[in-house]
Amino acid sequence: MAHVLVPVDDEHARQGCELATELFPGEKFLLLHVINPANAAGYNPEPGVPGAAEDWYAREETETEEYLEELRAHIEQRDDDATVDHSIKIGRPAQIIVERVEQGDLDHVVMGSHGREGISRLLLGSVAETVVRKSPVPVTVVR
């Protein structure tokens, strides 16, 4: 049985899940979402309010859990034989994804990439590019 990692973000997760189930029907999937603390920079708490970072993280984690459950149900609806687990980590997405793959129990990665226009269209997004370059297992990227 293949064990497939599907890193998920808010934008391209469903496409990655759909392709993963097409390529690996009836297999085991791990949905991984990485909460990037760099994204907290856009969150502007009132000065002097303690716990703003913790509140931001708690909201992110709750929203992510709900989204991962939605994706799990979507995969299981498409493929009755699939087994779906999920995990939430905090850190730099590319680094965390590669570290998870390096643990050695995964056979393939299927992930989305941001669509680009013009000359940048020839390049993958920075997370996808890093994972493709550093992953010890095959990586399929969907746009």
SS3 (DSSP) at 88 = strand
- Phi, psi angles (nearest 5°) of residue 90: -120, 135
Chain centroid to CA 135: 14
pLDDT at 38 over 50: yes
Q: Which residues face 85 on adjacent strands?
A: 30
pLDDT of amino acid 125: 63
Q: What is the residue extent of each domain of the chain?
A: 3-142
The DSSP symbol for 136 reads S
CATH fold for domain 3-142: Rossmann fold (3.40.50)
> Quick one: CA dihedral 39, 102, 131, 141, positive or negative?
negative
Q: How confident is the model at residue 121 (pLDDT cuts 50, 70, 90)?
A: very low
pLDDT digits (tens, 9 = 90+) for 62-96: 999 999 999 999 999 999 999 999 999 999 999 99
Quote the pTM value: 0.86
The DSSP symbol for 138 reads -
Closest to 64 in 3D by CA, of 42, 32, 37 = 32
Contact call for residues 106 and 139 (beta carbons, < 8 A):
no
